[in-house]
Amino acid sequence: MTASKLDLTGKAIDMLFPMHVVLDDRGRIGGLGPTLERVLGTGVLEADLFDVFTVERPRNVRSMADIRERLGTKLVLRAHLQDGAPIQFRGFALAAADEEGIFLDLSFGLHLSQVVERFGLTEADFKPNDFSIDLFYSFEAQRTLLEDSQKMASALKAAKIEAEKKALQDPLTEIANRGALHRRLEDVLHLPDRGQMFALLHIDLDEFKSINDNFGHSAGDMILLQTAEAMTSFCGPNDLPARLGGDEFALFLAEPPDKEELHAMALRLLNAIAMPIRYNGHSCQVTASIGVVLFHPGQVQNADRLIAHSDIALYDAKTTRSSVKLLSKEMIRRHEETSRLISLIERGLKLSQFVPYFQPQIDSMTGGVCGLEVVARWQTEKEGVLPPARFLETATRANIMSEIDRQVRCKAFTHFAEWKSDGKDIGKLSLNVTASNLRSEAFAAILQTELADAGLTPGDIQLELLESILFDQSDQELIAQCRNLEQAGFALALDDFGTGHSSIATLIETPVATLKIDRSFVSGLDRNPKMQRIAGAMLAMAQNMGLDVLAEGVETREELEFLENCGCRLFQGFYFSPPLSAVEIRKWLDVWAPDLKRVTA
Amino acid sequence: MYGMLNEGIRSFITDNHGPEAWQRICESAGLDQLEFERMSSYDDAITYKLIEAICRFTGLPLTEVMDIFGRYWVEFAGASHFGNLMRLAGNSFIEQLKGLDDMHDRILLTMPHLKPPSFEVDQKDDGSCILHYYSEREGLAPMVIGLLHGLAKETGERIEVSQVAVKSEQFDHDIFEVRILDKAPNPTSTEAGI
Ligand code: HEM
| Model pLDDT for residues B128-162, shown as the tens digit of each residue | 999 999 999 999 999 999 999 999 999 899 999 99
Q: How many folded domains does chain A comprise? A: 3
Least Cα distance to B65 among B140, B116, B166, B167 occurs for B140
List CB contacts (< 8 A) between B132 and chain A.
Answer: 59
**Residues linked to residue A427 through DSSP beta bridges, in sequence order:** none
A315 C-beta neighbours (distance < 10 Å), count: 20
Instruction: Look at the alpha carbons of A178, A181, A183, A188 in this order and tell me if their dihedral is positive or negative.
Output: negative
pLDDT at A594: 47
Q: Domain check: are B122 and B184 in the same one?
A: yes
pLDDT tens digits along B7-47: 999 999 999 999 999 999 999 999 988 999 888 899 999 99
- Are B6 and B46 contacting, i.e. CB atoms less than 8 angstroms apart? yes
Residue A502 has a pLDDT of: 61
Per the CB < 8 A criterion, the answer to whether A289 and A274 are in contact is: no
Give the phi and the psi of residue A457 in degrees, each rounded to 5. Answer: -130, 165
pLDDT in tens, B61-99: 999 999 999 999 999 998 888 888 888 888 889 999 998
A207 found inside a domain: yes
Minimal CA–CA distance to B40: which of B72, B75, B7?
B7
B64 domain-assigned: no
Residues B42 and B122 reside in one and the same domain = no
Burial (CB < 10 A; 0-12, 13-18, 19+), residue A462, is buried
DSSP SS3 for B72:
helix
Q: Do B44 and B97 share a structural domain?
A: no
In degrees, to the nearest 5, what angle opens at C-alpha B102 toward C-alphas A30 and A139? 85
Residue A395 forms part of a structural domain: yes
The best mutation among B37, B73, B145, B157 to test binding of ligand 1, ranked by most ligand atoms within 8 Å of the C-beta, falls on B73
Helices A259-273 & A217-233 angle (0-180, nearest 10): 150
Asked if the structure places residue A399 within a domain, the reply is: yes
> Would you say the CB of residue B74 lies under 6 angstroms from ligand 1?
yes
A272 and A409, same domain (yes or no)? no
Closest Cα in chain A, distance from residue B166 (Å): 18
Whether B103 and B187 share a structural domain: yes
A369 in the same domain as A319: no
Chain A within 8 Å of B154 (Cβ-Cβ)?
no
Asked whether residue A134 falls in the same domain as residue A220, the answer is no
A334: in domain: no
Q: Which helix (H) or strand (E) holds B100?
A: helix B93-110
Cα separation, A386 vs A377, whole angstroms: 6
- Tell me whether residue A507 is in a domain: yes
Please check whether residue A352 is in contact with residue A408, taking contact to mean a CB–CB distance below 8 angstroms. Answer: no
Let me know whether B100 and B155 are in one domain. Answer: yes
Are β-strands A288-295 and A324-326 bridged in parallel, bridged antiparallel, or unpaired?
parallel
> What total of structural domains would you count in chain B?
2
- Domain boundaries, position B121: 92-193
Q: What is the CATH number of the domain that holds B162?
A: 3.90.1520.10
Q: Are residues A402 and A471 in the same domain?
A: yes
Does residue A215 lie in a domain region? yes
* Statement to judge: residues A134 and A201 lie in one domain: no
Of B107, B132, B153, the residue with max ligand 1 atoms within 8 A of its CB, to mutate for a pocket test, comes to B107
CB < 8 Å to A142, chain B? 110
Domain boundary (A266, A293, A327) is at A327
ipTM score: 0.73
Asked if residue A565 and residue A530 are part of one domain, the reply reads yes
Note whether residue A24 is domain-resident. Answer: yes
Which secondary structure element, helix H or strand E, spans residue A27, and what is its range?
Answer: none
B175 inside domain: yes
A60/B contact by beta carbon, under 8 A: no
| Mutant choice from B40, B107, B109 vs A, greatest count of A C-beta within 10 A | B109
Position A202 scores a pLDDT of 97
Examine the domain organization and report whether A318 and A362 are in the same domain. no
3-state helix, strand, coil in chain A (%, to 5): 50, 20, 30
Mean pLDDT by groups of 10 residues along chain A of 601 residues? 78 92 93 94 92 91 92 91 85 87 91 87 86 81 82 85 85 92 93 91 91 86 94 93 94 94 94 89 89 94 93 90 89 91 94 96 90 96 92 89 93 95 92 85 90 94 82 70 90 82 69 88 86 87 89 91 90 94 93 56 37
Which residue among A327, A344, A361 closes a domain?
A327
Residue A483: which domain range? 352-596
Whether B144 and B188 map to the same domain: the answer is yes
Same domain, A398 and A536: yes
Residue B185, pLDDT score: 58
Residue B54 covered by a domain: yes
**Side-chain half-sphere exposure of A59, counting CA atoms within 13 A:** 11
Residue-wise DSSP of A386-422? E-GGGTHHHHHHTT-HHHHHHHHHHHHHHHHHHHHHT
Count other C-beta atoms under 10 Å from residue B158's C-beta. 14
Same domain, A89 and A205: no
Report pLDDT for A398: 86
How distant, in Å, are the alpha carbons of A2, A250, A262, A286, A567 from that of A315? 106, 14, 18, 17, 48
Compute the distance between CA of residue A305 and CA of residue B126 in angstroms, rounded to an integer.
77
> What's the CATH code of the domain at A580?
3.20.20.450
Q: What's the rounded Cα separation, in Å, for the pair A551 and A363?
A: 11
Same domain, B33 and B99: no
| Chain-chain contact of B39 with A149 (C-beta, under 8 angstroms) | yes
Q: Is residue B23 part of a domain?
A: yes
Residue B188 pLDDT class (50, 70, 90 cuts): very low
**CATH number for position A30:** 3.30.450.260
Residue A518 lies in a domain: yes
CB contact under 8 A, B120 and A149: no
Tell me: do A210 and A96 sit in the same domain: no
* CATH code, domain with A232: 3.30.70.270
CB of B20 closer than 6 A to ligand 1? no
Are B107 and B189 contained in the same domain?
yes
Q: Is residue B83 part of a domain?
A: no
* DSSP reduced 3-state for A62: coil
Picking from A59, A110, A146, the nearest residue to B105 by CB comes out as A110
Residue A28: strand, helix, or coil: strand
- pLDDT score for A508: 73
* Weakest-pLDDT range from A214-218, B53-57, B166-170: A214-218
What confidence score (pLDDT) does residue A19 get? 95
Residue B142 lies in a domain: yes
In a domain, B32, yes or no: yes
**Whole-angstrom Cα distance, residue A506 to residue A487?**
18
| A311 and A359 together in one domain | no
Q: Is residue B70 part of a domain?
A: no
Question: Are A272 and A357 in the same domain?
Answer: no
